[in-house]
Amino acid sequence: MRLETDRTVLSLLHERDAQAIADYYRTNAAHLDPWEPARPADFHGPRSWKARARKAQLDAREGRSLRLVARLKTGDEIIGVCNFTNVQRGPAQSAYLGYSIAAAYEGKGLMSEIVEAGCTYMLREAGLHRIQADCIPKNRQSAKLLERLGFRYIGRAEKYLQINGVWADHDLWERLAP
């Protein structure tokens, strides 16, 4: 699988990406940790990522999730991720969206390109009806991104997810197929 935007290429997470994705999370730990669940010490090691990449490939083949890594068209470094998880078929036809971008690339419009490409694929090609994204209320950048990309605010879930060891409220957003 390969999706292209003006400046980026998105591809399904693969075993060969293990070191690059480990580097992405290690380099961006201070930038990403405030928005992530607490993880065991070895979670972002290459061996752990290799195992998760194998599972991502299987889950994609079986339609359970789509875990994409993003690179600039001009480089090999992973600059962001765009994940569609908990894909539900049948009457729901929905998935959850998660995303992040490296600190060095924030504020350049790249996350918009990446997430839009992923959402367009999931809503048009994969046949989903609804994508839900959740963000911590104080993460205004994420909320602005979702709004810009056509997501609609649908409410707040109290103590929804455990982030960095603390149960955190989350704003819930949805985007429906055209």
User: Alpha carbon of 114 to those of 52, 55, 68, 81, 100: distances in Å?
Assistant: 21, 22, 9, 8, 10
The mean pLDDT of 161-176, rounded to a whole number, is: 94
Residue 177 has pLDDT above 90, yes or no: yes
In the chain, % of residues over pLDDT 70: 100
Residue 107 has pLDDT above 90, yes or no: yes
pTM of the model: 0.94
Residues 16-52: tens digit of each pLDDT:
999 999 999 999 988 988 888 888 888 888 899 999 9
Closest CA to 6 of 109, 120, 100: 109
Q: Give the pLDDT of residue 35.
A: 87
Q: How many other CB atoms sit within 10 Å of the CB of residue 44?
A: 17
Alpha carbon distance 118, 150 (integer Å): 13
Q: Which of 5-19, 28-42, 45-59, 162-176 has the lowest mean pLDDT?
A: 28-42
Residue 66 has pLDDT above 90, yes or no: yes
Query: Phi then psi for 80, rounded to 5 degrees?
Result: -170, 170
Query: Vertex 53, ends 61 and 146: CA angle to 5°?
Result: 80
Alpha carbon distance 60, 93 (integer Å): 15
